[in-house]
Amino acid sequence: MSRISGAESQIMEALWNEEPLTAEEIIAKVGPANAWGEATVKTLINRLLKKKALISARSGGRALYRTLVTREDYVTGESQGLLDRLFGGQIAPLVAHYAQHRALSAEEVARLKRLIADLEADDE
């Protein structure tokens, strides 16, 4: 599957939250928040159909759209792509970058410590 753009991900999010949806329902959910008209949303839907991220089926004379990609698979692919492009596939430099350029809250630090402890426990 081809990469899903930021704009296309808005369509996917609407469908991950509630599917199936008609084009009109998708337009109502994402159009106003993004200042997109009907033509823009339909173009994004068509791109996602071509990328095999969506499938459509006719019901009552209307097309209903469903996702073919899970949100988890999308997030995994995007995350790995970011790691590969910017940090050579390594997680530690990513965390270090954020720690140096953005203040981590006490809650974020605690979550990271728990994650590391859980990973270490799994290795034992």
- For the segment 92-121, the average pLDDT, to the nearest whole number, is 90
74 falls within a domain: no
What CATH number did the domain enclosing 14 receive? 1.10.10.10
Residues 27 and 63 in one domain: yes
54 falls within a domain: yes
* CA pseudo-torsion sign 27, 48, 76, 18: positive
Residues 101 and 50 in one domain: no
Confidence of residue 1 (pLDDT cuts 50, 70, 90): low
Confidence of residue 14 (pLDDT cuts 50, 70, 90): very high
| Residue 73 token pair | 């698979």
47 falls within a domain: yes
- Taking only Cα atoms into account, the Rg of the chain, rounded to an integer number of angstroms, comes to 19
**Domain end marker among 67, 82, 112:** 67
Q: What is the pLDDT of residue 76?
A: 92
The identity of residue 22, as a single letter, is T
Q: What is the pLDDT of residue 39?
A: 97
Render pLDDT for 23-67 as a digit per residue (tens, 0 to 9).
999 999 999 999 999 999 999 999 999 999 999 999 889 999 999
> What is the residue-averaged pLDDT of the chain?
93
Note down the domain range covering 117.
Answer: 90-124
57 falls within a domain: yes
Residues 55 and 10 in one domain: yes
